[in-house]
Structure 1
Amino acid sequence: MPRRITSTWPRRRFLAAAAVSVAMPQVSQAQTAVWRFQSAWSSRDIFHEFAVDYGRRVEEMTGGRIKLDVAAAGSVVPAFQMLDAVHAGILDGAHGTCDFWISKHKAASLFSSPPSFGWDAHGLLGWFYAGGGETLYRELLNDILKLNVTGLLYFPMPAQPLGWFRKEIKGETLKGVNFRIDGLAAELFRGLGASVTVLPSGEIVTIMDRGQLDGAALNNPSSDLQLGLPDVARTYLLGSHHRPAGAFEVVFNKGKFDAQPAEVKSILRHAALAASTGQLAMAYARYPKDLDEIRKRGVDVRRTGDALLAAELAAWDKVIAEHSRDSFFAKVIASQKAWVRRLQPYIAANNLTTAELAAAYKHFLG
């Protein structure tokens, strides 16, 4: 008969040790560190809520070890100076988009509002994490610009509306329209005849109310409503090629980030990935409701005309050609095109078309 092997470790001691191991948190225990963190958004903007939500996730996932003290735009530095402040250690981190540092390199905008290649924000984030985009992003920040920062993209932004206008827009140009926009889209709108003004979102309503702006693009109905755009413009055009794919950027001072233990660095990354899902749910809950409220206020909400949409694509051709004379810009464009060529045929073959989805909606809900 086989010999029965009996553990020499008493059962009571085993159960006690097991209870202790279950109770112990998975993150190393240490005193709370408070990081100076600024968003690019007004405190009234839903995007600032998203920045605060990211900070909450980090604090919860680290068991209180890291607390992001999230301030609104302009609290420490102007929004367009956040990257320099993070580089210098004035800020430990920031929440915005890559468009805010396009003045350093035009390719920055390709990571937050790239050309309309037929993809959406899910495709953009797929390219960043699985198609070589993150490697190119780090090459730009650390090798080309020599910045002491590290970061990542998150949150698949729903396509941006064309924007708000004080007067009706007809035809295929925006000639004579003084328009607020940022990133590469600013050059796109210049190609459509607009006179472009670049300024932070929190200043739009004041400048528009003075009559110094004819139109503005922000991002979504909730941001637009919270900032008061229905009070200063009465036409809202939905649908545009200027920013069909977009994402937030979270950046950290690289020295501060690299000094953290592996589990904290992992949490800072994975908190953003988790926030992509959680914040998209928040957006889907709020955006339709706030668009209904905009309509209730008597705003003329309509789809952008086909002629103007086609003109946007032609304008993109010129913007891409102009900046592809820079080798790195051209390399990013080539990488994005290769990703979309591989991705979109599958999506087109497998997904239902807009018309088919509309038919299903009509069948069950219409």
Structure 2
Amino acid sequence: MAKSTATSRRRFLGGAAVAGVATIAMPQVSRAQTVTLKMQSGFGPTDILSDYGRDYVSKVNAMGGGRLKIDFLNSGAVVKPFSVMDATSTGVLDANWSVPAYWYGKHRAASLFGTGPVYGTNADQFMSWFYYGGGDKLYRELTQDTLKLNVVGFFSFAMPTQPLGWFKKPINGPEDLKGLKYRTVGLASNVMQAMGASVAQLPGPEILPAMEKGVIDAFEFNNPTSDSRFGAQDVAKNYYLGSYHQASEAIEVVFNKGKYDGLAKEQQELLRIAVQATSADGGWKASDIYSNDLQTLITKHGVQVKRTPVSVFKAQLAAWDKVIGEISGDSAQGPMIKKILESQKAYAKRVAFYSINNEADFKSAYEHYFGPMKV
């Protein structure tokens, strides 16, 4: 009898141990259900900027352990490119992969998160400001508090300085920009208008048709790869590198706040870390692909690649001064704009001082081995 009791007790304890394991594991049941987020791109399906979005999705899906998945939708699949922020806020989309310049019509401060004035810092340093200089808090204030958007946003992939763009005729100075019908977006449109251009704000897929129909005379989009993939070289042959109109832009990764807040903490962290991983990987990929495609434009398509004239850079800075004065003086939007600009300018003064003074003279090193730059 004692032996039977002992055996029964062991069986009970063993069963309890198993039950205990089952009890501990039960919270994992809901977690085991796959959460699928619908993310739409703001860029064309063949654009390399969408490729970076697919890279991000691949990283999330690979690390999601079967419990978190993103479906990446092409531009226009659900809404038009300039409507992805509204669609994400209202829950029509769970997320989007785009840029703030596409929704800066809501508030011109949005353009300061990627298409703003240049104080001496580049796109990598813009990212530094966002994540370590208080930019993320200002972004939340703008999107959630000021505009009442139901979103959570991050920034990924610091874009190399965007070229001045494509022109049918050579640009020898700022006077050649006057009267041109030019495509750009965000506050860059204000800058180019201040320089005398007539600006059309168009999403990427609409640029080439507009150029072919004469709706625009010149345009910028983003980089040699994006530009060549949609056929820029077929409508213009003068390509000017370097500009202050969009010198420090980055990709905006936005989630519907309700959807994001409903995720497990580790899933939220996975989305955030994947943003950073994609940012680093995108920069490395861009150096390789952009440089290769630029050479193809020169050697295969006969594109005349030139450095933007110094006089145009100076005129752009003067135009930025004018634009900053105008938008900062706006009674409704000015206070938020001033707050962001002051933060960016203070950060740039410190960071650019270090960076510019510490940077090696890479041009001299290049010319030492390869001869004078022919651009």
Give 1:238-257 correspondences, 5 Å limit.
238-257=241-260
Report the residue type matching 1:273 in the other structure. Q
Aligned with residue 321 of structure 2, among 301, 317, 322:
317
8 Å Cα contact 1:167/1:214 also seen in 2: no
In the TM superposition, residue 363 of structure 1 has moved relative to its aligned partner by 3.4
**1:317 counterpart SS class:** helix
Deviations 1:51-88 (A, max 9, x none): 11111111112113222111111111011110110011
**1:179 counterpart SS class:** strand
Match of 1:207 in 2: 210
CA distance in 1, matches of 2:178, 2:34: 54
Runs of 5+ unmatched residues, structure 2 = 1-27
In the TM superposition, residue 348 of structure 1 has moved relative to its aligned partner by 2.4
Match of 1:111 in 2: 113
8 Å Cα contact 2:119/2:349 also seen in 1: no
Match of 1:72 in 2: 74
Deviations 1:83-142 (A, max 9, x none): 110011100000001111101100000011121111101110000001010000000000
Runs of 5+ unmatched residues, structure 1 = 1-26
- State the 4+ residue runs in structure 1 displaced beyond 3 angstroms: 362-366
Aligned with residue 300 of structure 1, among 304, 308, 326:
304
Q: Could you say which structure has the larger radius of gyration?
A: 2
Match of 1:149 in 2: 151
Give the CA RMSD over aligned residues.
1.5
In the TM superposition, residue 204 of structure 1 has moved relative to its aligned partner by 0.5
| Residue 268 (structure 2) pairs with residue 265 (structure 1) | yes
Deviations 1:297-337 (A, max 9, x none): 01111111111111000000011011112101001000000
Report the residue type matching 1:358 in the other structure. K
Report the residue type matching 2:265 in the other structure. A
Match of 1:24 in 2: none
Match of 1:5 in 2: none
Give 1:164-203 correspondences, 5 Å limit.
164-173=166-175, 174-203=177-206
8 Å Cα contact 1:52/1:70 also seen in 2: yes
Match of 2:12 in 1: none
In the TM superposition, residue 365 of structure 1 has moved relative to its aligned partner by 4.9
- Count of residues paired in the alignment: 338
CA distance in 2, matches of 1:162, 1:64: 44
Match of 1:282 in 2: 285
Report the residue type matching 1:281 in the other structure. W
CA distance in 1, matches of 2:327, 2:89: 26
| Residue 366 (structure 2) pairs with residue 340 (structure 1) | no
**2:105 counterpart SS class:** coil
CA distance in 1, matches of 2:166, 2:370: 30
CA distance in 1, matches of 2:184, 2:344: 23
Report the residue type matching 1:58 in the other structure. V
In the TM superposition, residue 212 of structure 1 has moved relative to its aligned partner by 1.7
**1:117 counterpart SS class:** coil
Report the residue type matching 2:344 in the other structure. Q
**1:251 counterpart SS class:** strand
In the TM superposition, residue 256 of structure 1 has moved relative to its aligned partner by 0.3
Deviations 1:141-195 (A, max 9, x none): 0000011111111111100000001222232131111011000000000011110
Match of 2:233 in 1: 230
| Residue 228 (structure 2) pairs with residue 220 (structure 1) | no
Identity %: 43
Taking structure 2 as the reference length, what is the TM-score of the superposition?
0.88
Match of 1:56 in 2: 58
8 Å Cα contact 1:94/1:252 also seen in 2: yes
CA distance in 1, matches of 2:101, 2:214: 26
Match of 1:362 in 2: 367
CA distance in 2, matches of 1:160, 1:214: 18
